[in-house]
Amino acid sequence: MDTVEIPVNHSSAQFSAEAAEKMALELNLTSQQILNVIALLDEGNTVPFITRYRKERTGNLDEVQIRDIQTRSVQASDLGTRFDDPAFNRSTT
């Protein structure tokens, strides 16, 4: 199998390197693959487009892997938004 060099993501995405590392371990991928996929999704690219035309940025991930990253990043984002929402964090004293 040929080695694929994955370009570094210089996106300003709000997904932390720590969260990417955790997701990478769970999915058996590299954190750079996770960050690159999230950046591509944040740029408005669709999963089929990323799968077909951005293999050099994802390290040849398939559509299922990219959708899994997409789902997990949306869930993490939703969770973070809820915790940052003052209405969600009201104390009940």
pLDDT at 11: 47
What is the structure's pLDDT at 7?
53
What structural domains does the chain harbor?
17-84 (1.10.10.650)
Q: How much is the pLDDT for 25?
A: 96
Q: Could you list the mean pLDDT of each consecutive 10-residue stretch along the chain, which spans 93 residues?
A: 53 70 95 95 96 95 97 81 50 49
pLDDT of residue 13: 44
Q: What pLDDT was estimated at residue 3?
A: 54
Residue type present at position 80 = G
